[in-house]
Amino acid sequence: MNDIKSETIPGGRPGSGAHRVVALCGPYLSGKTSLLESILYATGAIGRRGSTRAGTSIGDGAPEARKRGMGTELNVASVDYLGDQWTFVDVPGSIEFQHDAFAALAVCDAAVVVCEPAPERVVVLAPLLKYIEDNRIPHILFVNKIDSAEVRVRDMMAALQTISTRKLVLRQVPIRRAAANGADETVGYVDLVSERAYRYKSSGASDLIEMPAELLPRENEARREMLETLSEFDDTLLEQLIEDIAPEKSLIYRDLHDEFGADQIAPVLLGAGDRENGVRRLLKALRHDTPFVARTAERRALPSNGVAMLECFKVLHQSHAGKLSLCRVWSGTLSEGQTLGGQRIGTLLRPFGQRLDKIAEAKAGEIVALAKVDALSAGQTLSAAGIVATEDFPAAEPPVFGLSLSAKNRNDEVKLTAALQKIIEEDPSLSYEQRAETHELLLKGQGEMHLKVAIDKLAARYNVAVETQTPRVAYRETIQLGTQQHARYKRQTGGHGQFADIKIEIKPLPRGSGFRFVDKIVGGVVPRNFIPAVEEGLGENLKEGPLGQPVVDLEVTLFDGQYHSVDSSEMSFKMAARIALSEGLPKCKPVLLEPILKVTVAAPSEATPRIQRLISGRRGQLLGYDARAGWSGWDEVSALMPEAEIADMIVEIRSVTQGVGTFRTEFDHLQELVGRTADRIVEESKKRAA
């Protein structure tokens, strides 16, 4: 792979008009949307620079994003830059909206990871970097907000290297000056390849200045480090370094290009995205080093043989335009009105923030929105062969937070499920479920904010107002003692009456046994044809026991009874079963059972003690902890916890893990619950029943 040069790929030369895609990713508030704004401004795509704070940026244009001042879904904008077409995808930073970030990363040629200049914050990059590295996506780390950074760049590099398995290559060192307030401020940078010094301006390209003499030792040291790292993947450079020969700049540029494209190194650039500082340097690095579409298709094992093929990575439902499938064209050209793989391609649109511009055709490399191709969803390709699922498209993370929803207006229930289906198609990390056990409609997702945004959308876009509640826990009850019970049902109503008489024995069974019915009738004292009715009657009445919950783990034996040749019926035996249980069960010392889940919490190791305390504080029983496989500096803590304690646990986990901790659960067992909590649950379910 390393020897593929840009020149050998058709259309693969900077300035050839090819279309490349770059994802701008990184944590919430690291400055991605501001950086996009500066890129659009610096390339002339917009005439004035908006700001995320004032709500005037091209990114974050959706009403849910504007309202919160944070990205809640991906934003796409394309620009012309020095004879090439570029599409930048600004993705949400919060882990709750991470699915959109991964979807954009799946189709990009390269990623820019926008980092806060704070070593203690690098841990929040871990989930993102893990996805990027696992998928071998070439990426640049852009250390942002360098204007106000107080940290030394070498400390920042050391911190970043702890979470990166790729070798980091610092390409610039900052020029600092004592500011009026006594702190240091960054006023420019030295480019370590060209060894030129630049002074930042508040807007526009930086000025070339003379190399500050006092910076030379630091510049030399950083340059040597850069070359040494590059030489790990290039023997020619290694030999030159050993023999103390100064390498040609062209060799350094070539190594940077090849090693970046092969995802062997991750270059690190510095800047301040909200004031264009370092933005042109970043653009130039991307221009020279970002792989072209054919190379990316090869990395993804997608065909790029010139025949039309595209992949949908995001669906949007718009009230006027209907379903829009955001796609990347991997190969060939797509034209308006064409039929591909049985799907008629209608209007082609090019997104620019919230705006959609009509275009007549889309070429390989481009991002295009298809209108009303209803069959095409995210994670699918469309070609002459039809619609096929993409194997490596990111799967949705399992949900960690749920709410029970009900339409404020009962007539809206059908509308609600239809709207939910659309919202989930836009964001597959949301899901919903009709829970039969508790008769609830559950909306599940990645956190509190994630669901709030979904509920906002339900109201604003689909006009369905909902009420939310914490989901109910599916409690059960069982018995601790056995008993025998005699029940007789007898009615005389006009013509023939009703008669059934049964004797049953009720006995507790071990946990997990469910309900078992035993028939010990001899001599036909209860006729064969009525016995299933007894069993059915018992089953129906075990749905709600004396404590108001379904009764489990018990055996009921029918051992005696009487019948009447005219008056007995299935109905009367069912009634007798009901009486037998309602009189028998309360004598059996019923007890509440609560579901206990096995929980595995994944978080940065430094948070492990806090995670353990949090679990203990929620009636959890710690089972142990271990390093999280494949994640350096992360642990997994496992525990047994009551389901009731998990409902809002993610909120607390996020708050002790800088927002990146997560967990998964599986049902483990039912456990007896007594005392005040049990009394409260029984009372609540009685109130609900009444």
Ligand X SMILES: Nc1nc2c(ncn2[C@@H]2O[C@H](COP(=O)(O)OP(=O)(O)O)[C@@H](O)[C@H]2O)c(=O)[nH]1
Minimum CB separation of residue 59 from Mg ion in Å reads 6
Q: Which amino acid is at 434?
A: Q
Q: Which of residues 311-350 bind ligand X (CB under 6 A)?
A: none
Q: Give the Cα separation of 477 and 549 in Å (integer).
A: 6
> Would you say 27 or 642 has its CB closer to Mg ion?
27
Q: Is residue 460 within a helix (H) or strand (E), and if so which, with residue range?
A: helix 448-462
Q: Give the Cα separation of 152 and 546 in Å (integer).
A: 67
Q: How far is CA 622 from the centre of its chain?
A: 26
> Would you say 29 or 473 has its CB closer to ligand X?
29
For Cα atoms 641, 644, 648, give the angle at the middle one, nearest 5 degrees: 95
Minimum CB separation of residue 141 from ligand X in Å reads 14
Backbone φ and ψ for 241, nearest 5 degrees, come out as -65, -40
Is residue 274 close enough to count as binding ligand X by CB under 6 A? yes
Minimum CB separation of residue 60 from ligand X in Å reads 7
Q: Rounded to whole angstroms, what are the CA distances from 402 to 99, 304, 418, 639, 646?
A: 17, 41, 19, 20, 10
Single out the residue of 209, 208, 204 nearest to residue 280, CA to CA.
204
Q: How many CB atoms lie within 10 A of CB 35?
A: 27
> Would you say 145 or 328 has its CB closer to ligand X?
145
Minimum CB separation of residue 189 from ligand X in Å reads 13
Binding mask 18-37 toward ligand X (x if CB under 6 A, else -) reads --------x-xxxxxxx---
Minimum CB separation of residue 276 from ligand X in Å reads 9
Contacts with Mg ion by CB under 5 A: the residue count is: 3
Q: What is the 3-state secondary structure (H, E, C) of 262-317?
A: CCCEEEEEECEHHHCECHHHHHHHHHHHCCCHHHHHHHCCCCCCCCCEEEEEEEEE
Minimum CB separation of residue 273 from ligand X in Å reads 4
Minimum CB separation of residue 46 from ligand X in Å reads 15
Backbone φ and ψ for 548, nearest 5 degrees, come out as 90, 5
Q: Which amino acid is at 504?
A: I
Single out the residue of 117, 97, 119, 121 nearest to residue 25, CA to CA.
97
Q: Which part of the chain contacts ligand X (CB under 6 A), choosing from 166-174, 267-275, 367-375, 594-602?
A: 267-275
Q: Which part of the chain contacts ligand X (CB under 6 A), choosing from 128-136, 232-240, 269-277, 486-494?
A: 269-277
> Would you say 30 or 172 has its CB closer to Mg ion?
30
> Would you say 272 or 326 has its CB closer to ligand X?
272
Residue nearest to ligand X (CB): 31
Minimum CB separation of residue 38 from ligand X in Å reads 8
Backbone φ and ψ for 188, nearest 5 degrees, come out as 180, -165
Single out the residue of 387, 390, 459, 472 nearest to residue 423, CA to CA.
459
Find which of ligand X, Mg ion, none residue 290 binds, CB within 5 to 8 Å per kind: none
Is residue 147 close enough to count as binding ligand X by CB under 6 A? yes
Q: Give the Cα separation of 29 and 115 in Å (integer).
A: 9
> Would you say 285 or 407 has its CB closer to ligand X?
285
* Greatest Cα-to-Cα distance within the chain, rounded to the nearest angstrom: 115
Q: Which amino acid is at 378?
A: A
Is residue 52 close enough to count as binding ligand X by CB under 6 A? yes
Q: Helices 126-134 and 98-107 sit at what angle, rounded to 10 degrees?
A: 30
> Would you say 282 or 538 has its CB closer to ligand X?
282
Q: Which part of the chain contacts Mg ion (CB under 5 A), choosing from 29-37, 163-171, 499-507, 558-566?
A: 29-37
> Would you say 148 or 632 has its CB closer to ligand X?
148
Q: Which part of the chain contacts Mg ion (CB under 5 A), choosing from 12-20, 64-72, 197-205, 265-273?
A: 64-72
Is residue 145 close enough to count as binding ligand X by CB under 6 A? yes
- Determine the 3-state secondary structure of 116 from DSSP: coil
Minimum CB separation of residue 24 from Mg ion in Å reads 9
> Would you say 30 or 485 has its CB closer to ligand X?
30
Is residue 144 close enough to count as binding ligand X by CB under 6 A? yes
Minimum CB separation of residue 8 from ligand X in Å reads 36
> Would you say 60 or 643 has its CB closer to Mg ion?
60
Q: Rounded to whole angstroms, what are the CA distances from 2 to 260, 497, 545?
A: 10, 90, 69
Cβ-contact 405, 416 below 8 angstroms: yes
> Would you say 53 or 249 has its CB closer to Mg ion?
53
Q: Where are the alpha helices (DSSP H) in 585-658?
A: 608-616, 649-655
Q: Which part of the chain contacts ligand X (CB under 6 A), choosing from 144-152, 243-251, 280-288, 599-607?
A: 144-152
* Residue among 261, 267, 273, 595 that touches ligand X (CB under 6 A): 273
Q: Which of residues 159-218 bind ligand X (CB under 6 A)?
A: none
Cβ-in-10-Å burial (0-12, 13-18, 19+) of 358 comes to exposed
Q: Which part of the chain contacts Mg ion (CB under 5 A), choosing from 30-38, 292-300, 547-555, 619-627?
A: 30-38
* Residue among 40, 58, 140, 272 that touches ligand X (CB under 6 A): 272
Q: Which part of the chain contacts Mg ion (CB under 5 A), choosing from 63-71, 401-409, 494-502, 597-605?
A: 63-71
What is the pairing mode between strands 184-191 and 515-519?
unpaired
Minimum CB separation of residue 348 from ligand X in Å reads 28
Q: Give the Cα separation of 185 and 183 in Å (integer).
A: 7
Contacts with ligand X by CB under 6 A: the residue count is: 20
Single out the residue of 315, 309, 279, 278 nearest to residue 296, CA to CA.
309
Single out the residue of 507, 571, 563, 564 nearest to residue 540, CA to CA.
571
Cβ-contact 625, 638 below 8 angstroms: yes
Q: Which of residues 61-100 bind ligand X (CB under 6 A)?
A: 70-71, 93
For Cα atoms 91, 96, 102, give the angle at the middle one, nearest 5 degrees: 45
> Would you say 71 or 379 has its CB closer to Mg ion?
71
Cβ-in-10-Å burial (0-12, 13-18, 19+) of 657 comes to buried
Ramachandran assignment for 82, one of left (phi > 0), alpha (psi -120 to 50 degrees), beta (any other): left
Minimum CB separation of residue 395 from ligand X in Å reads 25
> Would you say 71 or 291 has its CB closer to Mg ion?
71
Reported as half-sphere exposure (CB side, CA atoms, 13 A), residue 145 has a value of 15
* Residue among 6, 30, 33, 172 that touches Mg ion (CB under 5 A): 33
Single out the residue of 119, 69, 61, 120 nearest to residue 93, CA to CA.
69
Find which of Mg ion, ligand X, none residue 354 binds, CB within 5 to 8 Å per kind: none
Q: Which part of the chain contacts ligand X (CB under 6 A), choosing from 142-150, 181-189, 405-413, 591-599?
A: 142-150
Find which of ligand X, Mg ion, none residue 147 binds, CB within 5 to 8 Å per kind: ligand X
> Would you say 53 or 496 has its CB closer to ligand X?
53
> Would you say 286 or 424 has its CB closer to ligand X?
286
* Residue among 53, 496, 516, 680 that touches ligand X (CB under 6 A): 53
Q: Which residues are bridge partners to 188 per DSSP?
A: 175, 199
Find which of ligand X, Mg ion, none residue 273 binds, CB within 5 to 8 Å per kind: ligand X
The pair of structure tokens assigned to 688 is 């609900």
* Residue among 71, 188, 402, 584 that touches Mg ion (CB under 5 A): 71
Return residues touching Mg ion (CB under 5 A).
32-33, 71
Return residues touching ligand X (CB under 6 A).
26, 28-34, 52-53, 70-71, 93, 144-145, 147-148, 272-274
